[in-house]
Amino acid sequence: MPGSLTVGKKAPAFSLPNQDGKTVKLSDFKGRWVVLYFYPKDNTPGCTTEACDFTAGLKDFEELDAVVLGCSADSPESHQKFIAKYKLKITLLSDSEHDVMKAYGAWGEKNLYGKTVVGIIRSTVIIDPEGKVAYVYPKVRSAGHAEAVREQLAALRAAAA
Protein backbone atom coordinates (compact mmCIF):
# COMPACT_ATOMS: atom_id res chain seq x y z
CA MET A 1 0.00 0.00 0.00
CA PRO A 2 1.40 3.44 -0.84
CA GLY A 3 1.80 5.94 1.96
CA SER A 4 3.77 5.15 5.10
CA LEU A 5 1.53 2.53 6.65
CA THR A 6 3.29 -0.26 8.46
CA VAL A 7 1.60 -2.44 11.06
CA GLY A 8 3.00 -1.55 14.46
CA LYS A 9 4.05 1.97 13.43
CA LYS A 10 2.33 5.20 14.49
CA ALA A 11 -0.72 5.98 12.34
CA PRO A 12 -0.50 9.34 10.52
CA ALA A 13 -2.12 12.11 12.58
CA PHE A 14 -5.12 13.81 11.01
CA SER A 15 -7.47 16.69 11.66
CA LEU A 16 -10.52 16.84 9.37
CA PRO A 17 -14.02 18.34 9.45
CA ASN A 18 -16.88 15.91 10.07
CA GLN A 19 -20.41 16.09 8.65
CA ASP A 20 -21.23 18.91 11.09
CA GLY A 21 -18.11 20.93 10.24
CA LYS A 22 -16.53 20.06 13.61
CA THR A 23 -12.83 19.18 13.59
CA VAL A 24 -12.07 15.53 14.34
CA LYS A 25 -8.51 14.49 15.18
CA LEU A 26 -7.03 11.03 15.54
CA SER A 27 -5.77 12.12 18.98
CA ASP A 28 -9.41 12.56 20.09
CA PHE A 29 -9.63 8.76 20.25
CA LYS A 30 -6.50 7.95 22.27
CA GLY A 31 -7.19 4.84 24.32
CA ARG A 32 -9.81 3.52 21.87
CA TRP A 33 -9.67 1.44 18.71
CA VAL A 34 -10.34 3.34 15.49
CA VAL A 35 -11.70 1.89 12.25
CA LEU A 36 -10.87 4.43 9.54
CA TYR A 37 -12.32 3.54 6.18
CA PHE A 38 -11.85 5.44 2.93
CA TYR A 39 -14.53 5.40 0.26
CA PRO A 40 -14.92 7.14 -3.11
CA LYS A 41 -18.27 8.96 -3.02
CA ASP A 42 -21.41 9.56 -0.96
CA ASN A 43 -24.63 8.11 -2.37
CA THR A 44 -23.01 5.60 -4.73
CA PRO A 45 -24.00 1.91 -4.54
CA GLY A 46 -20.83 0.38 -3.05
CA CYS A 47 -20.25 3.28 -0.68
CA THR A 48 -23.85 3.18 0.50
CA THR A 49 -23.59 -0.58 1.15
CA GLU A 50 -20.42 -0.07 3.18
CA ALA A 51 -21.78 2.87 5.21
CA CYS A 52 -25.06 1.06 5.94
CA ASP A 53 -23.19 -2.11 6.98
CA PHE A 54 -20.93 -0.18 9.35
CA THR A 55 -24.00 1.58 10.77
CA ALA A 56 -25.85 -1.74 11.19
CA GLY A 57 -22.87 -3.18 13.08
CA LEU A 58 -22.08 -0.06 15.10
CA LYS A 59 -23.25 -1.55 18.41
CA ASP A 60 -20.81 -4.46 17.89
CA PHE A 61 -17.96 -2.02 17.20
CA GLU A 62 -18.87 0.03 20.28
CA GLU A 63 -18.82 -3.16 22.39
CA LEU A 64 -15.25 -3.64 21.12
CA ASP A 65 -14.48 -0.05 22.26
CA ALA A 66 -14.03 1.10 18.67
CA VAL A 67 -15.12 4.19 16.80
CA VAL A 68 -15.92 3.97 13.06
CA LEU A 69 -14.90 6.87 10.83
CA GLY A 70 -15.65 7.03 7.13
CA CYS A 71 -13.59 9.39 4.95
CA SER A 72 -14.12 10.69 1.42
CA ALA A 73 -13.47 13.91 -0.49
CA ASP A 74 -17.15 14.88 -0.26
CA SER A 75 -18.09 18.08 1.57
CA PRO A 76 -19.59 18.09 5.08
CA GLU A 77 -22.91 19.17 3.46
CA SER A 78 -22.83 16.13 1.15
CA HIS A 79 -22.09 13.91 4.18
CA GLN A 80 -25.10 15.41 6.04
CA LYS A 81 -27.43 14.53 3.14
CA PHE A 82 -25.93 11.03 2.87
CA ILE A 83 -26.38 10.45 6.62
CA ALA A 84 -29.98 11.75 6.56
CA LYS A 85 -30.95 9.73 3.49
CA TYR A 86 -29.71 6.39 4.89
CA LYS A 87 -30.03 7.11 8.66
CA LEU A 88 -26.29 6.53 9.10
CA LYS A 89 -24.92 6.58 12.64
CA ILE A 90 -21.21 6.75 11.82
CA THR A 91 -19.01 9.85 11.62
CA LEU A 92 -18.01 10.89 8.11
CA LEU A 93 -14.90 12.99 7.52
CA SER A 94 -14.22 15.33 4.62
CA ASP A 95 -10.73 15.22 3.07
CA SER A 96 -11.22 17.54 0.09
CA GLU A 97 -7.46 18.07 -0.35
CA HIS A 98 -6.75 14.29 -0.19
CA ASP A 99 -3.89 14.88 2.30
CA VAL A 100 -5.05 12.26 4.80
CA MET A 101 -5.89 9.83 2.01
CA LYS A 102 -2.36 10.21 0.63
CA ALA A 103 -0.84 9.67 4.09
CA TYR A 104 -2.87 6.46 4.45
CA GLY A 105 -2.28 5.22 0.90
CA ALA A 106 -5.94 5.69 -0.02
CA TRP A 107 -5.24 8.09 -2.90
CA GLY A 108 -3.52 6.92 -6.05
CA GLU A 109 -3.80 5.00 -9.29
CA LYS A 110 -6.60 2.51 -9.60
CA ASN A 111 -8.28 0.64 -12.40
CA LEU A 112 -11.77 1.86 -13.21
CA TYR A 113 -13.66 0.11 -16.01
CA GLY A 114 -10.40 -0.88 -17.69
CA LYS A 115 -8.82 2.58 -17.45
CA THR A 116 -6.11 3.69 -15.05
CA VAL A 117 -7.30 6.73 -13.12
CA VAL A 118 -6.10 8.58 -10.03
CA GLY A 119 -8.63 8.66 -7.22
CA ILE A 120 -9.74 7.33 -3.87
CA ILE A 121 -8.81 3.72 -3.22
CA ARG A 122 -11.43 1.95 -1.11
CA SER A 123 -9.40 0.81 1.88
CA THR A 124 -9.58 0.48 5.66
CA VAL A 125 -7.13 0.84 8.52
CA ILE A 126 -7.60 -0.39 12.10
CA ILE A 127 -5.71 1.78 14.58
CA ASP A 128 -5.01 0.50 18.10
CA PRO A 129 -5.60 2.44 21.36
CA GLU A 130 -1.98 3.69 21.31
CA GLY A 131 -2.44 5.21 17.85
CA LYS A 132 -0.50 2.53 16.00
CA VAL A 133 -1.55 0.81 12.78
CA ALA A 134 -2.93 -2.59 13.82
CA TYR A 135 -4.28 -3.86 10.48
CA VAL A 136 -4.57 -2.63 6.89
CA TYR A 137 -7.06 -3.59 4.19
CA PRO A 138 -5.38 -2.07 1.10
CA LYS A 139 -8.21 -2.90 -1.31
CA VAL A 140 -11.76 -3.47 -0.18
CA ARG A 141 -14.95 -4.88 -1.67
CA SER A 142 -17.85 -3.20 0.12
CA ALA A 143 -20.18 -6.18 0.54
CA GLY A 144 -19.36 -8.01 3.79
CA HIS A 145 -16.45 -5.71 4.61
CA ALA A 146 -17.84 -4.26 7.86
CA GLU A 147 -18.32 -7.77 9.26
CA ALA A 148 -14.79 -8.81 8.23
CA VAL A 149 -13.40 -5.70 9.96
CA ARG A 150 -15.42 -6.44 13.11
CA GLU A 151 -14.07 -10.02 13.21
CA GLN A 152 -10.49 -8.79 12.68
CA LEU A 153 -10.91 -6.15 15.39
CA ALA A 154 -12.21 -8.76 17.84
CA ALA A 155 -9.17 -10.97 17.08
CA LEU A 156 -6.75 -8.02 17.50
CA ARG A 157 -8.34 -7.10 20.84
CA ALA A 158 -8.14 -10.70 22.05
CA ALA A 159 -4.45 -10.88 21.06
CA ALA A 160 -3.71 -7.60 22.85
CA ALA A 161 -5.49 -8.66 26.05
Quote the pTM value: 0.93
pLDDT tens, position by position, for the chain (161 residues)?
445 589 999 999 999 999 999 999 999 999 999 999 999 999 998 899 999 999 999 999 999 999 999 999 999 999 999 999 999 999 999 999 999 999 999 999 888 788 898 999 999 999 999 999 999 999 888 889 999 999 999 999 999 87
Distance from chain centroid for Cα 146: 10
Helix (H) or strand (E) run with residue 63 in it: helix 58-63
Contact 135, 13 (CB under 8 A): no
Contact 37, 105 (CB under 8 A): no
Catalytic residue among 47, 88, 93, 146: 47
Biggest distance spanned by C-alpha atoms of the chain: 45
d(CA 81, CA 98) in angstroms, rounded, equals 21
Domains of the chain: 30-160 (3.40.30.10)
Reference 28, options 60, 86, 69; nearest CA is 69
Mark whether 71 is an active-site residue.
no
